[in-house]
A and B are shown apart, each in its own frame.
Chain A
Amino acid sequence: MSAATTASTATPGTLTRGEALRRQVDYWATVYRRTWRGSVVSSFATPLFYVLAMGVLLGGFIDGDPDVLEGATSYFRFVVPGLIAAHAMQTAVGETTYPVMGMVKWQRIYDSMLATPLQCRDLVGAHLLFVLFRLATTCAVYDLVLAPFGVYGSWWGPFAAFGAQLLVGMAFAVWVYGVSARLRSEEGFGVLFRLGVFPLFLFSGAFFPIANLGEVGAWVARCTPLWHGVNLSRMFALDQVTWWLAGVNVAVLAVLLLAGWRWAVTGLERRLVS
C-alpha cells in the first residue's frame, strides 16, 4: 500500500483570504496557458480594428473641435480613451458569462473546488482576480501602444486612464458574474448582450459626445455605469479633468464594485451551497 493512500491527519485549517487565493494560482495559470492564444484576437485585434475604423478612417471626416468633442482636438483623441473603457467592459463581460456558467453548470469545476477547504467567496475572488489580470494586460497594451500617437495630454494620463478602465471593467465583472451564477440557461446571455452590453457600448459616450443624445438622452447615458468609466478614462487621457465629476465617477463605480461583489458571492452561494 502506498503512503498516499494510508489514513493520516490531512491538511487542517480555516483559510485566510490570501491563502485561499494562493491555492488557486496554479489553476488559473493553467487556464491562462490554455486560453491566451484564443484571447489574442478578441483582446487585441478586434479593438485595434475599431481604433483604425472609427478613430482613423471615420475620424478623418469629423472636425476636431474641442468644444464639441469634450476637449479633444481630434476625433481620434476623443474616441480612443472611451473605446478602451468600453472594451474593458466587453472583456469583463466575456470573462464572466460563459466561463462562469461552464464552471457552475457544464464542467462543474466549482463543485469540485467546494469539496476542498475553499469557500464560495474564495472562488469568486480568484475568478475575479483572473478577470482583473485579463483587463490589465489588455488595457495596458492599448494604453502603451497608443501613447506615441498623441492620445494623452500628460505623462500621468495613461496611468490614470488605465486605473479608470480597470475600475469600470471590474464594476461590470462583479455584476455580470452574479447574473451568470444565478442563470439556469445560457439563453439569458443573448438577452444580456443584445439589451445590455451592445446598447451600452453604442450609447454611453464612447463614440460620440452624449450631448448629441439630447438633454433627456444625455441624462440617461450619465446613469449608465459605462459612461462613468468612459468619462473618467477620457478626462484623464486628455488631461481635461473636472475633479468633482471625476470624484462622482469614481464613487459610482466603487459603489457598484462593492455592491456587485456581494451580489456575485451570494449568487454563487445560493446556486451551489443550498
Chain B
Amino acid sequence: MVTDQSSEPMISARGLTKSFGDFEAVKGIDVEVRRGEAFGFLGPNGAGKSSTMRMIAATSPVSGGELRILGLDPATDGPAIRGRLGVCPQDDTLDTELDVFDNLFIYGRYFGLPREEVRARADELLEFVQLTDKAHAKVDDLSGGMKRRLTIARSLVNRPDLLLLDEPTTGLDPQARHVLWDRLFRLKQAGVTLVLTTHYMDEAEQLCDRLVVMDKGRIVAEGSPLDLIREHSTREVAELRFGIAREGETHEALAAQVANLGDRVEVLPDRLLVYSEDGDAVVAAVQARGLRPVATLVRRSTLEDVFLRLTGRTLVD
C-alpha cells in the first residue's frame, strides 16, 4: 500500500487501452513507474509504444482502463499534468524560424514562467546541453545531435518531475549518442524520473533501471535488463558462421547436429546461434563433432537477444 508521496508511483496504468476506430494499438497494459526511476518501453514498430507515450503525456485520451500520472487523471487534469512533464518527442518539433535561445524562451513562456526567470533557465540549460555558443544560431544551422540536445533542453525548461523521451537518439551518430546519454545520466542522478522508448538495446541497457518489452499492443516481458536476459536468454551465445546457405537449402541440418549443445539454437541465413551457459565449450564440442564453421564468436547474451526472441525477427514496417 502506497502511503507517502515519495513512493507514490509517477505513472500507474491498469488495463490501459488505446483504440483508433477498429484498430486496438494498446491492448490492456499494466505499468507502474516509481519516482527517480529510468523506465523503458521497448518494442518493434507498431508495438504501441508511441500511443502509450502520448497517453502518458496527456495529449491523447485513454480509450479504456485506468491511468494516473503524478497521481492525477489525464482526462480531467491534463494541463496540470503537462505543467509537470518534460516531453522530448521523436521529431524535434523545434521552431526553425527562431534562434536557439528563443526556442527555449518561447517554450518556457507557455508554462507561465516570468520572462526573467525563463531567460535565466534558458542560459543554464544551454550550458547543460553544451549549446551556449550556439545561443543565437538558427535551428536550421544545427547538426542533428545539437537539435536533439536543444529539444531535451526545451523539455527541461519547466523543471519537470517526469521526463518523457521518445526515441531520444534515433538518427544520431555514435558521438552524439554518447553525449546525449551522458546528459541523461546526469538528469537521472539529479533525481529526474525518465521514461523512454527506444529501438536501441544498448541504449536501454545503458539507461534503464527497468523496462517492458511491448509487442502488438501488449507487454510481453518486464524487468531490469539483467533480469530479462537471465529469464529469457542464456549467459552466453556461440555464433557459428557457416556462410550463406545455398538457394533452396537452410542450415537446419547443421542445427540438428548442434541442438543438444545449448538451451536453444537459432538458425539465421548465414549462421547458427547456440544459446548456452558456456559458449567456449559449445565451440569446442562443435569442432569435436567435425563441423567446420567459417568463423566462430562467443559473446555475452544481450538485451537484443531477448528482444528478438520475444518479438521475432520478422521485419515490421
Interface residues of A (CB under 8 A from B): 1-15, 19, 23-27, 30-31, 34, 107-109, 111-119, 272-274
Interface residues of B (CB under 8 A from A): 20, 57, 59-61, 77-80, 82-85, 87, 89, 91, 93-98, 102, 105-107, 109-113, 115, 120-121, 124-125, 127-128, 154, 156-161, 186-187, 189-193
**Residues of A contacting B105 in the complex (Cβ-Cβ under 8 angstroms):** 26
**Do A4 and B156 touch across chains, with their CB atoms under 8 A apart?**
yes
CA distance A67 to B78 in the complex (A): 60
Closest Cβ–Cβ distance, residue A20 to chain B (whole Å): 9
**Do A7 and B110 touch across chains, with their CB atoms under 8 A apart?**
no
Interface centre among A4, A24, A34, A108, by most B CB within 10 Å?
A: A4
Q: In this complex, what residue of A is CB-closest to B84? A: A10
The contact sample of 29 A-B pairs, CB cut-off 8 A, is A2-B124, A4-B120, A5-B159, A5-B187, A6-B192, A7-B160, A8-B159, A10-B158, A11-B111, A12-B83, A25-B109, A26-B106, A27-B106, A27-B109, A34-B97, A107-B93, A107-B95, A107-B96, A108-B91, A112-B94, A112-B95, A112-B154, A115-B87, A116-B82, A117-B79, A118-B79, A118-B110, A119-B79, A273-B59
**Do A115 and B82 touch across chains, with their CB atoms under 8 A apart?**
yes
Of the candidates B82, B109, B125, the one whose C-beta lies within 8 Å of that of A5 is B125
A117 with B93: in contact, given A4-B124, A9-B84 (CB under 8 Å)?
no
**Do A9 and B161 touch across chains, with their CB atoms under 8 A apart?**
yes
List 4 extra interface pairs beyond A7-B159, A12-B80, A111-B93, CB under 8 A. A4-B159, A5-B128, A6-B191, A30-B106
Closest Cβ–Cβ distance, residue B216 to chain A (whole Å): 20
**Residues of B contacting A25 in the complex (Cβ-Cβ under 8 angstroms):** 109
A7 with B111: in contact, given A12-B83, A112-B93, A114-B59 (CB under 8 Å)?
no
**Residues of A contacting B161 in the complex (Cβ-Cβ under 8 angstroms):** 7-10
CA distance A118 to B120 in the complex (A): 22
**Do B192 and A119 touch across chains, with their CB atoms under 8 A apart?**
no
**Do A5 and B156 touch across chains, with their CB atoms under 8 A apart?**
yes
Of the candidates B113, B128, B192, the one whose C-beta lies within 8 Å of that of A7 is B192
A117 with B111: in contact, given A7-B161, A7-B190, A7-B191 (CB under 8 Å)?
yes
Closest Cβ–Cβ distance, residue A105 to chain B (whole Å): 11
Of the candidates A4, A14, A114, A118, the one whose C-beta lies within 8 Å of that of B80 is A14
**Residues of A contacting B159 in the complex (Cβ-Cβ under 8 angstroms):** 4-8, 10
Closest Cβ–Cβ distance, residue A124 to chain B (whole Å): 15
**Residues of A contacting B156 in the complex (Cβ-Cβ under 8 angstroms):** 4-5
Closest Cβ–Cβ distance, residue B78 to chain A (whole Å): 7
Closest Cβ–Cβ distance, residue A157 to chain B (whole Å): 40
Interface centre among A14, A26, A113, A273, by most B CB within 10 Å?
A: A26
Q: In this complex, what residue of A is CB-closest to B94? A: A112
A115 with B59: in contact, given A2-B128, A7-B190 (CB under 8 Å)?
yes
Of the candidates A2, A10, A111, the one whose C-beta lies within 8 Å of that of B89 is A111
Closest Cβ–Cβ distance, residue B127 to chain A (whole Å): 6
CA distance A222 to B63 in the complex (A): 46
**Residues of A contacting B190 in the complex (Cβ-Cβ under 8 angstroms):** 1, 5-7
**Do B125 and A4 touch across chains, with their CB atoms under 8 A apart?**
yes
CA distance A23 to B80 in the complex (A): 15
Interface centre among A34, A109, A272, by most B CB within 10 Å?
A: A109
Q: In this complex, what residue of A is CB-closest to B97? A: A34
Closest Cβ–Cβ distance, residue A175 to chain B (whole Å): 26
A116 with B93: in contact, given A6-B190, A273-B59 (CB under 8 Å)?
no
CA distance A25 to B112 in the complex (A): 11
Of the candidates A4, A9, A34, A111, the one whose C-beta lies within 8 Å of that of B121 is A4
Closest Cβ–Cβ distance, residue A12 to chain B (whole Å): 6
Closest Cβ–Cβ distance, residue A118 to chain B (whole Å): 6
**Residues of A contacting B83 in the complex (Cβ-Cβ under 8 angstroms):** 10-13, 116-117
**Do B98 and A113 touch across chains, with their CB atoms under 8 A apart?**
no
**Do B59 and A13 touch across chains, with their CB atoms under 8 A apart?**
no
**Residues of A contacting B89 in the complex (Cβ-Cβ under 8 angstroms):** 111-112, 115
CA distance A116 to B190 in the complex (A): 22
